[in-house]
A and B are shown apart, each in its own frame.
Chain A
Amino acid sequence: MATTVKPAIKFDQIQFKEGTLNSNVPEGPIQQIWDQYKFDMKLVNPANKRKFTVIVVGSGLAGGSASATMGELGYNVECYCYQDSPRRAHSVAAQGGINAAKNYQNDGDSIFRLFYDTVKGGDYRSREANVYRLAQVSNNIIDQCAAQGVPFAREYGGMLDNRSFGGAQVSRTFYARGQTGQQLLLGAYQALSRQIAAGKVRMHTRKEMLDLVIINGRARGIITRDMVTGKIERHLADAVVLATGGYGNVFYLSTNAKGCNATAIWRAYKRGAFFANPCFTQIHPTCIPPAGEHQSKLTLMSESLRNDGRIWVPKNKGETRRARDIPEAERNYYLEVKYPSFGNLVPRDVASRNAKTVVDDGYGVGEQKNGVYLDFSEAIGRLGKQVVKDRYGNLFDMYTSITGEDPYDVPMRIYPAVHYTMGGLWVDYNLQSTIPGLFVIGEANFSDHGANRLGASALMQGLADGYFILPYTIGNYLAQAKLDAVDTSHDAFNEAEGGVNDKIAQLLSINGKSTVDTLHRELGRALWDYCGMARNEAGLKKALEIIPQIRQEFWENVNVPGSAEDLNQALEKAGRVADFLELGELICLDALNRSESCGGHFREESQTDEGEALRDDENFSYVSAWQYAGNEAAPILNKEPLTFEYVKLTQRSYK
């Protein structure tokens, strides 16, 4: 029964493969590909749609919108989430906004410009055709959400308001106070609720996917655990959609919700779905710094704060005066000095790295010297307190309740934190993984953000995939797939359920001395230190030694109390951390392989004279898609070459 602990992967044993991946991007001018493809794809006729069942795992912006839309189309949808309601998925926490190329502000925006900014912002490591399609459907999303009753911010004339965001020189971001993610999610949740009432979507809450079932090479079902009764269940479908979000919690401390996990995508990886660019993780520049060891998660302060807040540190090391007692001349507004044209609105990776540099150099502020100031005194003087309150009131309240400090009075303290993962399961133009019938949408896939995601683009991508892309491409698959008539007594279900039960039994039988959180914290510390904002060869090799040791310790000495037949939160957590302990290693492996810097992946060995990320387009203009090759073997690295026909490769500069 006992699975042997996965041994450490040796970097020099990795095999490389090229030409194995087909992105399935149709031929043609980029402006016309999607429209033409929508016509070329096979359709399932309305009377036949009800004969197909689709499993959707996850109920956030991507999963919720996909389930609702497929339900409207007539498919039978089975939607699963680990929360007690689909309204709680972590998309709810996105604050700042959602981009669209509406050009309502008449400031020169266009679909092409949004496409261009996203490819450039991603530091040229995304697939052009996917990004162009994303920019195209961005406008439909705003229309759809407004029609659903999402209360977007408006101007006095009744038109929609926009704000600007990092990495763009136009105002294209739509928002609903500081709760845009919540309002968009409620829109999707409401559409989903309508389909649940109509009987087209069956919602399964407090159910966690623990394995993927593949029959004759196609994804045909999942194994879940009922988190209340502990019951392990089998579910059969004609296609499976994973919309399970990112894997940022591998770092232990992140802005993700505590329950966010990589188990669904990691199980799929071990069943044959390739994992792309795992090392592309985004560190968000504006979070509240940790207050001490007890810290369980980090809270993000929306990037939109950088519109009006000015970032600075004292010019003197070891400054002890309070912020307001430090005269202007002794403050270092380092982003405004270094990047005069973008100033405080440089992209996230640039802002984060600069904060790290000043803190590492000893200019950090706050009791733990682990932050930089984000100061609103100039904005309050220019706009008045009320305007600032209207724009950011709820964020300021949140800051006050967490830190006990009032940002109207003293500057906020901020520091970068893990926030988003650009990497994820590899998908082609159809959002289909390397397993036929397994589709991956939203943050769980790798497709649109390259090596760095721009602000207000995550909500856009989740909804684009769920409302406007997947419902088309999945039809194309279902119309052509000749699926075998099988049921849940198939051997593949027996094998998958057996594996799930064995793993649970094993976790409960170790009875060691370490808690899951302790080991998770150790994993997070290793990743943050060696595979965080800056990475180098020696550090990554060290992490690749440490992580297998933690994994060994976990499987020999973890303590998971309780039973399998109960609501058991310790068991849930243990299963997720067991997967993180394997994923963390793959992240470091990928970071070690990619010896260039790009976007959020900063290799210290590869930087410009000015300390900016220096790409190596000749050797690394590809997607790293990792293929599982068994418990003992090193994974295989498949390369999908990236070509840029429409956005010229340039060194990013935000000077």
Chain B
Amino acid sequence: MNLTLRIWRQKSKGASGQFASYPISDVSPDSSFLEMLDLLNEELMNKGEEPIAFDHDCREGICGMCSMVINGVAHGQDREPVKQVTVCQLHMRRFKDGETITIEPWRAQAFPVLRDLIVDRTSFDHIIQAGGFISVGTGSAPDANSLPIPKSKADYSMDAAACIGCGACVAACPNASAMLFTSAKIAHLNALPQGQTERYQRVVNMVTVMDHEMFGNCTNIGECAAVCPKEISLDFIANLNRDMMVASFQGVTPTVSLNGANK
């Protein structure tokens, strides 16, 4: 396949960036999108130019590292009826010979660009640090089967826990909201009996930090779920809102320190 790539180039955080065009030829349709970029980078380096910087690691769709907007779609797969996947699982057979492909980084205030297609997502870690855990120290756990959990509940929790924290939901949202990400962690833990003790404090603390990190508000557009490679459902956002409401009736206030949480 022969293609033209329009790629966002930016030297460093805060520097101004621009698109650059690169022709590329002899791409195998069986290669992955990232392997196509590897090929481009080899060519650039052979010409003495600096390669395109992009985040990637496991290349099997689970680590959540890869992150790029392709032709306006986070992770790039907008062609039905195939399921959403991460960029690393996107293969070139999904594209047409001769096509021009535009590649950009995640764009959100809470995800500043570090270089080219690489962004800083530590704001997601800050949300988890605010309460995305069950407080159980090593060694203090009872026998695992002493607390039976209905299969349906465990399955529901697992559906939410499947989130890989890639940030596509934020990149796709016109408001750059992190509600899908945040609600998935809350649903994972709040659905389980182990998670009940901290249930309402968790939701209040995590939402407080989420707002503080400059993510936008949710206006129920649903772009997030449409691009999510792990099919995280919008229902989890409804659950988050419900837990928030109960927490406000109970008068739960944030206990999280915001010092240093913000960049």
Contact = CB atoms under 8 A, between A and B. Distances in A.
Nearest to B54: A569
Interface in A521-564: 559, 561-562
Interface string B215-258: 00000000000000000000000000000000000000000100
B148 A561 contact: no
Interface of B: 11-13, 28, 30-32, 34-35, 38-39, 42, 45-46, 48-51, 53, 55-65, 82-83, 85, 89-91, 93, 114-115, 118, 120-122, 124-125, 128-130, 132-145, 147-151, 154-155, 157-158, 161-162, 164-165, 188-189, 192, 194-195, 256
Interface of A: 65, 68-69, 72, 83-88, 90, 92-93, 102, 104, 140, 142-149, 151-160, 176-177, 179, 181-183, 186, 189-191, 193-194, 196-197, 203, 205, 228, 255, 257-259, 291-292, 294-297, 299-300, 397-398, 401-402, 404, 467-468, 471, 513, 515, 517-518, 559, 561-562, 566-567, 569-570
Nearest to A205: B122
Contact of A149 (B58, B65, B188): B188
A254 to B, nearest CB: 11
Contact of A158 (B55, B151, B188): B151
Nearest to A294: B31
Contacts of A160: 144-145
A570 B115 CA distance: 14
Given A257-B57, A398-B61, A561-B50, 20 more contacts: A83-B63, A85-B121, A87-B125, A90-B58, A93-B60, A104-B145, A144-B136, A147-B136, A151-B188, A158-B149, A176-B161, A182-B162, A228-B13, A228-B115, A255-B60, A257-B58, A257-B63, A294-B39, A559-B46, A567-B118
A271 to B, nearest CB: 27
A381 B208 CA distance: 51
A401 B151 CA distance: 29
20 contacts: A84-B55, A84-B65, A93-B63, A102-B145, A140-B141, A147-B140, A148-B133, A149-B157, A149-B188, A156-B150, A157-B148, A160-B144, A181-B62, A190-B133, A191-B136, A193-B129, A294-B35, A299-B60, A402-B89, A404-B93
Contacts, number: 232
Given A87-B165, A148-B194, A257-B63, A562 B145 contact: no
Contact of A567 (B32, B114, B122): B114
Contact of A194 (B48, B135, B194): B135
A93 B62 contact: yes
Report which residue of A143, A152, A570 has the largest number of chain B beta carbons within 10 angstroms of its beta carbon.
Answer: A143
A197 B18 CA distance: 37
A193 B132 contact: yes
A142 B31 CA distance: 39
A54 B185 CA distance: 29
B210 to A, nearest CB: 14
6 closest A-B pairs by CB:
A158-B148, A190-B133, A147-B141, A146-B144, A151-B158, A143-B141
Contacts of A153: 154, 158
Report which residue of A86, A88, A144 has the largest number of chain B beta carbons within 10 angstroms of its beta carbon.
Answer: A88
A259 B161 CA distance: 24
Contacts of B138: 65, 68-69, 72, 144, 191, 467-468, 471
Contacts of A292: 28, 30-31
